[in-house]
Amino acid sequence: MSLSENEKKQLLDFIRSHYVDYYDVSLLIAKDLEEDITSQMEPNEEILFEDALKQA
């Protein structure tokens, strides 16, 4: 399972809202968060992206 383009944009916006200004650092954090979010959503498809992001 992978995130949609809209979810990836939300993820980058979330990271920027937490004062991560460097693009390369943002991408590394986004990659780690995306892996964590998808690992939460794969076994239970009822989990929403927003809930998985909060738990990541």
Query: Do the beta carbons of residue 47 and residue 7 sit within 8 Å?
Result: no
Instruction: Identify the band that residue 56 occupies on the pLDDT scale cut at 50, 70 and 90.
Output: confident
| Mean pLDDT within 44-56 | 89
Q: Cβ(29)–Cβ(15) under 8 Å?
A: yes
> How confident is the model at residue 29, as a pLDDT?
95
**What's the gap between Cα 11 and its chain centre?**
4
What average pLDDT does this structure show over 25-32? 94
Each residue's pLDDT tens digit, 14-25: 999 999 989 999
Domain ranges of the chain: 5-55
- Could you tell me which of 31, 26, 22, 32 has the C-alpha nearest to residue 13? 26
The confidence band for 45, taking pLDDT boundaries of 50, 70 and 90, is confident
Across the range 26-33, mean pLDDT stands at: 94
